[in-house]
Amino acid sequence: MDDFDLIITAGTWFDGTGAPGLTRDLGIRGGIVVKVSADPLTPGPDTEVIDAAGQWVMPGFLDVHTHYDAEMLVKPELSESLRHGVTTVVIGNCSLSTILASNDDCADIFSRVEAVPREAVHRTLGERRTWSGPGEYAKALDEMPLGPNIAAFLGHSDLRTHVLGLDRAVTRDTRPSAAEIERMQLLLGEAIDEGFLGLSSMSNKLDKIDGEVHRSRSLPSTYARGKEVRALNRVLRRNRRVLQSAPTIDLRPNIYKYFWASSGLFGRPKLRTSLLSAADSKAYPPLAYFMLWAAPLLNRLARTDFRWQHLPVPFTVYADGIDLVVFEEFGAGAAALHLKDQVERNELLRDEGYRRRFRREYDDKFSPRIWHRDFFDAEIIGCPDATVIGKTIGQVGKERGLHPVDAYLDLVVEYGPKLRWRTTIANDRPKYLDKLAANDGVQMGFGDAGAHLRNMAFYNYHLRLLERVLRAQDSRKPFLSVERAVHRLTGELARWYRIDAGLLREGDRADIAIVDPAGLDSAVHGLHETAMPEFGLDRMVNRNDRAVTATIVNGKPVYRAGVFAEGLGTAWGTGQFLRAGHPSARSVPAASR
């Protein structure tokens, strides 16, 4: 008899490699899977047993695109991810980290972009921050009572602001000196030595800064020129680390620069590059073909190591009044969001000159866009005037004899954030959604957990993909097998990012999601709201507790049947800071597996 801490019995076991599922018992000791057996395992007197008959036992999911950087400081259990089987999350995306710049500057560059209250971010950093560089940050993560494991990028906007100061970092005329660029390289190298995944950046100028002094300037990384970018990319190439970014969405596209930077032609090392985002855009439906073919062809012919990040569910967003990031993409929308005072904002929205500008930009079919700008595809779901609920904003305008823009602005002026509406901006066609999910040039991600707390909730996109896989099989139109889908959500990501996660074999760390396929039903697509007093708002969440029956991190059950383990995130934690290219502290070295 082996002295196991935990035994999982009779489940269909998927190891994360893409191999078919098998009925197996798993024995876990010291946070490690020490036995995978076709025969029943015998528990000891202190062994906890989980009966997984009829359920899937798989590696815990990876969420490679989150913005938990602030939330994890006040809620280190990150329960909204744990409840859906996520055991590893990646922070520091989109050039935004909280490692080097001052608390004021970090709050300014983080909060407006990610739609998290600035005062909450600033207060949290002021109360919890103990670091001033990558090494101290890594140490803080090591000591934090984390729920899931954490992996991290260093943010380019954070790095640039620290070296140049925010004043110079957001000025187009600033050209960093050779010494300043070298300083950026050294700090990026320090982060890599501490196990960071690489550098996250952003070149899309619609992401804006909060605060007072530099409000509505684009993020610092968008001001970086070629010399600075190439210097940082050299550090990433040399260390086989990742560049995460997003291309411009304007009349001067720079996507070709990312393709060239990733290329391993002419003997140089490839640069692993992950870009936002592979989506079937309502604004530009033909772009789906580019998303499907660009990465596979470039990886084959130009020797790139390039992936699109893809949210494998319909991209539906919600808004309170005019508070939605898509309005940043054109001047009239950004002008409204620039004003924090509601009285000033309403004065602007009433102004006829402003309205003419808004209508003109709304109707301009040739300006680059993310939002398809169709108020007839924007449903009102909450309003003090109950007669408009369930109608589109365009319908309200038609009934009132108004242009859709005027109907919308009238509603915002009258009801402000009490007007709640939604629209789907991408991934509305199941055919292309399935094709993207199965594409080798695409990786599952871009859930944005921890950000846009009032605008969307994709914490469970992994389960929503699995639900679609099952439904497609039932209709005899499969686009992925279950084992391939599990691999895409676990082992495939861990291998590409070089982190010790995503696999569930003997010798692997016991990060596990137990999923009941009977719970993969329409409930996984539901949205709810719950109070988040730490940030002073009600956030959007997912609640489909029948799907994941248990989440296990480092061998310890942290979530069972809708209930979290007592003391998680306060008295104790299970997650670790996962260092890229290094086995975690509890893992068995690969040579002994």
Q: What is the pLDDT of residues 273-316, one digit of tens each?
A: 999 999 999 999 999 999 999 999 999 999 999 999 999 999 99
Sheet strands (E) in 106-174 = 149-152, 154-155
Q: Tens digit of pLDDT for each residue in 42-89?
A: 999 999 999 999 999 999 999 999 999 999 999 999 999 999 999 999
How far is CA 205 from each of CA 250, 254, 288, 385, 426, rounded to the nearest angstrom? Answer: 9, 12, 22, 36, 20
For residue 9, is it within any domain? Answer: no
DSSP 19: P
pTM: 0.96
Same domain, 224 and 342: no
Identify the residue with better confidence: 552 or 249: 552
For residue 4, is it within any domain? Answer: no
Q: State how far the Cα of 320 lies from the Cα of 382, in Å rounded to an integer.
A: 9
Same domain, 152 and 277: yes
Domain of 176 in residue numbering reads as: 58-314+427-592
Q: What is the mean pLDDT of the chain?
A: 95
CB–CB of 378/388 below 8 Å?
no
Q: How many domains does the chain have?
A: 2
Same domain, 299 and 331: no
For residue 18, is it within any domain? Answer: no
Q: Tens digit of pLDDT for each residue in 487-497?
A: 999 999 999 99
Same domain, 165 and 184: yes
Same domain, 436 and 523: yes
DSSP per-residue codes, 546-570: TTEEEEEETTEEEEETTEEPTTBTT
Q: Tens digit of pLDDT for each residue in 317-345?
A: 999 999 999 999 999 999 999 999 999 99
Residue 444 has pLDDT above 90, yes or no: yes
Mean pLDDT confidence for 531-541 = 96
Token look-up 């310890």 returns 556
Q: In this structure, how many other beta carbons lie within 10 angstroms of the beta carbon of residue 235?
A: 19
Mean pLDDT confidence for 393-412 = 98
Same domain, 351 and 438: no
Last residue of a domain, one of 423, 452, 475: 423
Same domain, 228 and 256: yes
Strand pairing class (379-382; 242-245): unpaired
For residue 538, is it within any domain? Answer: yes
Residue 516 has pLDDT above 90, yes or no: yes
Same domain, 409 and 433: no
Residue 590 has pLDDT above 50, yes or no: no
**Is cis: bond before 262, omega within 30 of 0?**
no
How far is CA 15 from each of CA 149, 170, 332, 482, 555, rounded to the nearest angstrom? Answer: 19, 46, 51, 12, 15
Name the burial class of residue 202, with classes exposed (0-12), middle (13-18) and buried (19+) by CB atoms within 10 angstroms of its CB: buried
Beta bridge partners of 243: 199, 273
Q: In this structure, how many other beta carbons lie within 10 angstroms of the beta carbon of residue 334?
A: 14
Question: Confidence class of residue 499 from pLDDT cuts 50, 70 and 90?
Answer: very high
Q: State how far the Cα of 553 lies from the Cα of 568, in Å rounded to an integer.
A: 11
Same domain, 304 and 361: no
Of the chain, the percentage scoring pLDDT greater than 70 comes to 98
Question: Confidence class of residue 587 from pLDDT cuts 50, 70 and 90?
Answer: very low
Buried b / exposed e along 143-158 (16+ C-beta atoms within 10 A): ebebbbbbbbbbbbbb
Last residue of a domain, one of 384, 400, 423: 423
Same domain, 360 and 500: no
For residue 43, is it within any domain? Answer: no
Q: Give the model's pLDDT for residue 589.
A: 33
Q: State how far the Cα of 52 lies from the Cα of 50, in Å rounded to an integer.
A: 6
CB-side neighbour CA atoms (13 Å) of 261: 25
Of the chain, the percentage scoring pLDDT greater than 90 comes to 95
Q: State how far the Cα of 461 lies from the Cα of 86, in Å rounded to an integer.
A: 10
Q: Give the model's pLDDT for residue 592.
A: 27
| Of 361, 414, 387, the residue nearest 395 (C-alpha) | 387
What is the widest separation between alpha-carbon atoms in the chain?
Answer: 80
Q: Tens digit of pLDDT for each residue in 30-45?
A: 999 999 999 999 999 9
Phi, psi of 63 (to 5 degrees): -120, 100
Q: Which domain CATH number covers 434?
A: 3.20.20.140
Residue 546 has pLDDT above 80, yes or no: yes
Three-point CA angle 335, 340, 345, nearest 5° = 55
Q: H/E element holding 461?
A: helix 461-474
Q: Tens digit of pLDDT for each residue in 192-203?
A: 999 999 999 999
Last residue of a domain, one of 423, 438, 459: 423
Same domain, 416 and 497: no
Beta bridge partners of 13: 22, 57
CB–CB of 504/63 below 8 Å?
no
Alpha-carbon Rg for the chain, nearest whole angstrom, is: 24
For residue 1, is it within any domain? Answer: no
Q: Tens digit of pLDDT for each residue in 205-242?
A: 999 999 999 999 999 999 999 999 999 999 999 999 99
Question: Confidence class of residue 585 from pLDDT cuts 50, 70 and 90?
Answer: low
Residue 588 has pLDDT above 60, yes or no: no
For residue 185, is it within any domain? Answer: yes
DSSP per-residue codes, 340-393: -SHHHHHHHHH-HHHHHHHHHHHH-TTS--SS---GGG-EEEE-SSGGGTTSBH
Same domain, 471 and 550: yes
For residue 31, is it within any domain? Answer: no
Mean pLDDT confidence for 4-11 = 98
DSSP per-residue codes, 244-301: EE----SSS--HHHHHHHH--GGGPPP-EEEEE----BSS-TTHHHHHHHHHHHHHHH
Residue 586 has pLDDT above 60, yes or no: no
What angle separates helix 482-489 from helix 461-474, to the nearest 10 degrees? 170
Q: State how far the Cα of 44 lies from the Cα of 53, in Å rounded to an integer.
A: 20
Quote the tokens at residue 431: 């055919």
DSSP 449: B
